[in-house]
Each structure stands twice: as structure tokens, then as C-alpha cells.
Structure 1
């Protein structure tokens, strides 16, 4: 039996705290806190007895940003702090929260499964290992190669890094570097650094651009043969889609309206409704002029050499994923990609990137899993050599 996680829910509104406690009664042991003194005392007396803090208080209140700074900076609180916001958070406020040590900023009414996934990824006890059919062990030779290459690259490229930082600062307001939380080897979450290539308000524009996602699947229309009438099943024994592909319907299901539906088309429709695991927007209008150049030459990725030195990443591996992508990669097949080290470059980049062809989500996952199952030092060297021509890509993604 799985033990429920214990979380602290910070809110000055007792009704809101009671609502949250009732909603997650089966999943979380919730400790509601309504004032700063009570929370500070709890952290002093019961350090380690809870696994996360969920702060739903206004940022300018006594329970808001100032209290978070005190907990993370002055009291050195180790467990993650999530901010639950009922309104969109401005870029400036987001920067202040991340600097204060907030792990993530989430909508107040986030769906239950999404919130639990975030807690699972960021609030795991130290040393907890996700069970997988394979085990990853970083070889001393690979780690030595990473440190030597990353250290030498940072030293040699320091003039270029300073020049790019100056150009970014001149073109638009905002920080030169930014970080996001990414999921790497064994679902380990870390800070992932890049040069800023987008407008400062890029995050707020993403929701309105989901229709541009090149990984998004198109849901089958009701008239595409997904739903069958009893007469059609009796006469043909198959739906229009399977008939067009020259195959028989293997199994028929009954949907929520009591209609017969082909299982294949039902799965395709559900997948489209759930959304694609990856998000990649071609010709993204949020990218700045300098951003286009540093993306096309992959200069924006150079700050991740620091991630390599810190041991969060390797030179070669599978790209670490944002939380919203990683939470959709929990199946037995796709989760295998997290066995491999998180990398600056990898099999996916050198196989398809820059060749002008579209890559499906399934193809990308397959390449990641392939690398995870058979990577070696020699394979890494081959990928590094193939990465150089792939840097100067023509495809604007």
C-alpha cells in the first residue's frame, strides 16, 4: 500500500484550505496553515515530516513572497515550495519567485492528476529511485570525458558567451540567462540553463499557440468512421477507417453514448484529446532576432555546459524534458528514455534535426529509447562527430 505524501497547504482562507483538503483526502495528508508564525514553528519542530509546501496565499501578503524567501534563504528549507496562483503571474513576479527558491508556479485549480504528478516529480525523498527494467550507472570514463570537454569548451568559448550576453541585453529587456525545471536521468529534476532567445512574456503566450504544435495529433472527426451504427457492423463488420486501410476492426467498444466504436479510432481520439507529449512550434513568433541566430547555431544551448560540469547532464544523451512533457511519458515503453543520461546532444538531434523533414512524436520517443538501450562510449563519440553539421540547421524549430 502506497503511503500518502504529507504536504503543508498555506492559505489565509480556511474555506479554500478545507476545499483542498477534501479534494485530495485520498491522495495527500494535508496540514493547513493560516499564519506565518505557525508555519515557521512547524518548520522548526517537524522538519522532514512533510514533503512539500503548497502556498496559495497572495504574493504581497504576510504569507506570500516574503515568507517564502525566509523559509528558503534564511531557514534553508530543503523541501520544494509550490505557488498556487488564481491569476496569471507576471514575468517579473515569476522571476522573483524563482529567485526566492520556488520550485514551480501552478494554477490554483490545477487538475488533480497534474498536481499529483508535479508532487511526485519534485517532492520525492532524497535517494528515491524510480523502478525501471534497466539500470543506469555513469561510467568513470564518460564522466571524465564530460568534465574535460565541458570545462575546455567554457574556457575557450568565454569571449563568445560574453558577446552573446551583451547582444541579448541590448535587444530586449529581461535576464540574459533563464532556467526552467527539467526532468533528466531517472526522473531527476534540475535547473536547466539557456540563453534567453524569446520575448520576456513568452510563457504567457504559449497557451494561445497550442494549435501550432507540430507534434499535436488531429482528433478523428465523428464522421470519419469512428462511430458505427448496428446496421454498419452487421453489413460490413468494420469501420470506414479500417476499411480504407484494408484491415478489419479487431475489437469494437461501446462509448459513453452507448454507440459502437472501433478501438483503434477510439485510442486515436483519446490521444488527440490528451494532447501531445512534446511541444515544438515551427517559426515561433515569440523568438527575438538574436534568438533566431543563437537557436539556428545552437549557441543558446551553451550555458548547459555548466549543467554538465555539475553532473546534471552529459555531453551526449537524451534531451531533458519540461515537467509538462515528462508527466506524459510514464508508460513502460516511453519511460525507458529516462534510463539514459540527459544530454546536450543525442541520437534524436543528429538523426532528424536540420534535415527539413517532420518527425512524429513516436519517432522521437523511439530514438530516445534506442539510445537508452544501447548507448556506449563509442556511440557517444560518433554522435559528437555527427553533431557539428547538425548545428547549422535550416529548419526553424
Structure 2
């Protein structure tokens, strides 16, 4: 990222106490389930049980954002092998997918050098040029859509559908990286673009597992735009309190039983 912009945000004592009690209790209560997920992941595929991506939270602080691994460790390499499974056929974007597996763009290949500005996402690392091409391709159609994606393990599919892959974020809450309620921490490449006065307000609130836009999304028909999401993040940053957080948690519970992910 560019030079970090930092804001001082001091978590209210009652909010921090609530986070510790909820996260600690949940980790203890769910420990049998967590152990079962760990065992199943290890039995099905080699590699670490937990992976992390770099996320930007309160005051543009960068931290390790934890999840259970749901894909094979060589998932990026498999993209090259899966081009023929792309539901949208072999297009020019398929070449981009193959190139992404080497983390090199055409321009960098021509120069014989590695990409200097890699983009870090939850699932892969790729050249910024490739990411931009991917975003343009996705504006018209899905970049890569594979039915029964073989990169995802059987256990991975289950924990994604049930959101069990998010359980390690309770550790993020316990150590103070996040809160139970707040604005979702963003990947570096997204946060870097939100450094203007219009958007930076969202980073003056705590980073959280659930928040205002996740709940409001349930009341909307269709997908929520990125602009709408950021405006709701700003609204939460301007007006939040412990009791409003409790109301958001109560509104989140029924949302968990609906189809869309929060």
C-alpha cells in the first residue's frame, strides 16, 4: 500500500469486554467443532489448516485475517489445467487466467522480470495488470466460472456453505484485530483505493465480523453496489454505539438463515 494513513480509534471498554467474552466463549463452546474441522481438512488434503490474507482494518492498520483453508494448496496452478471447464468458453480472458498462475503479466514477461506490484487476495497473488484485466472482464461476464470447482475440497465446500471457514476470525477478535461488530476489513488492493475524504471515514470505525451493510443487504432486492456498501460503512463509523451493536447482532442472526452470505 501507499504510505499508511492512521487514525486514533480507542475501543470503548464495554465493547472490548463484550468482544473478549463473546469470542472467548464461542471458541470454547465451538472447540469440538473446530477440532473436527481441523481433522477433516488434514485428512482430505495436504497443507496448512489455516491460511491468512492481509487485510486493512481500523486506522488503515494491516493485520493477518484468518480463515480455514477450503482449497487445495496448489489451487492457483490448477487454474491453467481448468481452462476447458470454463462455462463461458475459451476467451482472451482464459489466457489471463493461465498467466495469473505464474504471477506474471504479458508486459512483465516481455521484460523478463517478475511483477513489481502484486495484488494479494484471499485466494491468490497476481499481477496488478492481470487484476485490472480481470475486473474489466467481470464487468461484462464472470471471469472464471467452473461448476463443481475441483480446486475446492469437499470439506472446503461444506465449510464455505456453512461459514465455518470464518471461525478463525474469532481469534482475530480475541487478540484485538477485529470486533464482533464493525466494518469488514478490506484486502490491500481495495483499501488502497479508499484513501480520499469521501471514503476514509469507514476506517475510523472498528473492523468487524458483521456490520451495518451485511444486515441492510438483506432488505434489498438484488446485489448491493460497492458504493452503497461504502456509504453504509461510513454511516456506521459516524454513528455507532455498544447498544446499536447489540441491535445489529440481533438483526444478523435471522440473516444467517437466508441464502446470501454475510
1:311 corresponds to which residue? 176
Give the Å deviation of 1:165: 1.3
2:9 to 136, 153, 158: 136
- Higher helix content, 1 or 2: 2
Contact 1:196 1:291 in 2 (8 A): yes
1:191 corresponds to which residue? 64
RMSD: 3.4
Give the Å deviation of 1:204: 5.8
Q: For residues 164 and 388 of structure 1, what CA distance do their matches in structure 2 show?
A: 22
The secondary structure found in structure 1 opposite 2:67 is strand
1:388 corresponds to which residue? 253
Quick check: 1:297 aligned with 2:173?
no
Give the Å deviation of 1:374: 0.7
2:210 to 345, 365, 370: 345
Quick check: 1:329 aligned with 2:194?
yes
Q: For residues 388 and 194 of structure 1, what CA distance do their matches in structure 2 show?
A: 21
Contact 1:318 1:340 in 2 (8 A): yes
Contact 2:134 2:143 in 1 (8 A): no
Q: For residues 227 and 28 of structure 2, what CA distance do their matches in structure 1 show?
A: 38
The secondary structure found in structure 1 opposite 2:158 is helix
Where structure 2 has 5 or more consecutive residues not aligned to the other structure, the ranges are 88-131
Give the Å deviation of 1:306: 0.8
Give the Å deviation of 1:170: 2.4
Q: For residues 295 and 354 of structure 1, what CA distance do their matches in structure 2 show?
A: 23
Q: For residues 161 and 321 of structure 1, what CA distance do their matches in structure 2 show?
A: 25
Contact 1:355 1:395 in 2 (8 A): no
Alpha-carbon distance change, 317 to 396 in structure 1, aligned in 2, over 3 angstroms: closer
Give the Å deviation of 1:161: 0.4
Quick check: 1:154 aligned with 2:24?
no
Q: For residues 11 and 76 of structure 2, what CA distance do their matches in structure 1 show?
A: 34
Alpha-carbon distance change, 282 to 366 in structure 1, aligned in 2, over 3 angstroms: farther
Q: For residues 145 and 259 of structure 2, what CA distance do their matches in structure 1 show?
A: 12
The secondary structure found in structure 2 opposite 1:182 is strand
Where structure 1 has 5 or more consecutive residues not aligned to the other structure, the ranges are 1-116, 122-128, 213-271
Q: For residues 378 and 282 of structure 1, what CA distance do their matches in structure 2 show?
A: 42
2:43 corresponds to which residue? 170
Q: For residues 388 and 307 of structure 1, what CA distance do their matches in structure 2 show?
A: 20
Alpha-carbon distance change, 350 to 292 in structure 1, aligned in 2, over 3 angstroms: farther
Q: For residues 282 and 340 of structure 1, what CA distance do their matches in structure 2 show?
A: 34
Give the Å deviation of 1:356: 7.1
Give the Å deviation of 1:130: 2.3
Q: Deviations over 1:354-389 (max 9, x none)?
A: 977212111111111111111111111011112222
TM-score by length of 1: 0.46
The secondary structure found in structure 2 opposite 1:198 is coil
Q: For residues 348 and 201 of structure 1, what CA distance do their matches in structure 2 show?
A: 33
RCO higher in structure (CA 8 A, sep ≥6) = 2
Size of the aligned set, in residue pairs, is: 208
Q: For residues 145 and 30 of structure 2, what CA distance do their matches in structure 1 show?
A: 28
TM-score by length of 2: 0.68
Q: Deviations over 1:21-80 (max 9, x none)?
A: xxxxxxxxxxxxxxxxxxxxxxxxxxxxxxxxxxxxxxxxxxxxxxxxxxxxxxxxxxxx
Q: For residues 205 and 332 of structure 1, what CA distance do their matches in structure 2 show?
A: 41
User: What pairs with 1:1-397 in structure 2 (closer than 5 Å)?
Assistant: 117=1, 120-121=3-4, 130=6, 136-203=9-76, 285=149, 286-352=151-217, 357-395=222-260
CA radius of gyration, larger in: 1
Q: For residues 26 and 208 of structure 2, what CA distance do their matches in structure 1 show?
A: 15
